[in-house]
Amino acid sequence: MNVAIVGCGAMGQLHAQMASNCGLRIAVCADAVKARASALAKIHGAVAVADIDAALARKDVDIVALTSPTPTHAKLIVAAAKAGKAIFCEKPITRTVAEGRTALTAVQKAGVPLFVGHVVRYFQEFEALRLQAQSGVIGHVGFIKTFRGGMCPVGSAGWFRDFAKSGGAVLDLLIHDFDWIRYAFGDIERVFCQNLMRERPTIMDYAMVTLTLKSGVIAQTIGSWAHPEGFRVKAELCGTDGMLTYDSAEAPIAVMPRQHGKKSPNTIVPSSPVDKSPYQLEWEDFIAHIGGHAPARVTPEDALAALHIAECALKSAKTGAPVTV
């Protein structure tokens, strides 16, 4: 199958390689900045175009990979659906829930598959955390804490730093954790959020969101675009019989069983994930799905649900009050 990469920046380059790793042919590289399209096309032996609509309409394209900035997703999903293409879209599905519903309606009407890249579901560390928690190794999970962040990204023309376009750390960054927590532990009932960014462009953002799940689990997730360098992810799952922890800067995963009635220190058992990019795993899942072999791990409805949680969090930050999801 042939792929058109729409948006040839960092994410376009990444997904082009992942699609190629899966045996797909990169046929077209499209970007409003022709030089970016040309640079990526040269790597993959593809055609470079600046006309996005023309790229979507090409008969030699089976799959459209939307790796352009978030504000472009809604229009491009609708156009790709009308062109009858299978669609891989980077998260979030769209900038707003209203746009997402319109896009999903277009996809359903056209009868084409849509996959949204909520890649944390495919990170081996997070999948191991989910499976170990569900196995009961730490008993009943009552509290979850995650951290995700580092330097503030820039993006083409600084779009990440423009809250109106990116939604800040809550919508662009923490949506990963909203989706994974919902995937691993069930629906979220209420959110309370505090953040820095409001409406004006700025070089940093920082947000803390408390989530109350319908199951009674409490989760706290922190997202930072305020660190001076690097990027780091951490997770803690606290249960009645112990904890599961993950820190991307340290051991892959540590299981620390609680030693009931004993004074000895907790035992730490690290485990190593398999050596394959989670971005490639999500492409493999997408390809299996469009081939009719299995349902995708992420559905468009999942992506819309994560976006709704993010919107509720932003509403909470604005009003200073909890918001029911």
**pLDDT for res 274:** 52
Chain segment 68-96, per-residue pLDDT in tens: 999 999 999 999 999 999 999 999 999 99
Please name the amino acid found at residue 153. P
What letter does residue 177 receive in the DSSP assignment? H
**pLDDT for res 270:** 32
Tell me if 249 sits within 8 A of 263, measured CB to CB: no
- What's the pLDDT band for 103 if we cut at 50, 70, 90? very high
Three-class SS state of 54:
helix
Q: What is the C-alpha separation between 165 and 69, in angstroms, rounded?
A: 8
Chain segment 158-167, per-residue pLDDT in tens: 888 888 899 9
| Tokens read off for 263 | 């004074």
Q: Which residue spans of the chain are classified as CATH 3.40.50.720?
A: 2-117
CATH architecture group of domain 2-117: 3-Layer(aba) Sandwich (3.40)
| Tokens read off for 321 | 């009050």
Chain segment 246-299, per-residue pLDDT in tens: 999 886 666 656 555 544 333 222 333 457 899 999 999 999 999 988 899 999
Chain segment 2-12, per-residue pLDDT in tens: 999 999 999 99
Count CB atoms within 10 A of the CB of residue 143: 13
pLDDT over 90 (residue 155) = no
Angstrom CA distances, 283 to 8, 21, 118, 175, 246, stand at 17, 9, 11, 20, 25
pLDDT over 80 (residue 197) = no
Per DSSP, helices labelled H in 22-115 are: 34-44, 52-57, 73-82, 97-110
Angstrom CA distances, 300 to 21, 90, 136, stand at 24, 12, 30
Q: What is the mean pLDDT of the chain?
A: 91
Q: What is the DSSP string of 265-322?
A: PPP-EE----SS-HHHHHHHHHHHHHTTSS--SS-HHHHHHHHHHHHHHHHHHHHTS-
**pLDDT for res 62:** 97
* Correct CATH for 120-275+299-324 of 3.10.105.10, 3.30.360.10, 3.40.50.850, 3.40.50.200: 3.30.360.10
% helix / strand / coil in the chain, to the nearest 5? 40, 25, 35
Q: Which residue spans of the chain are classified as CATH 3.30.360.10?
A: 120-275+299-324
Q: Looking at 39-43, 46-50, 179-183, 246-250, which range is the least confident one?
A: 246-250
**pLDDT for res 268:** 29
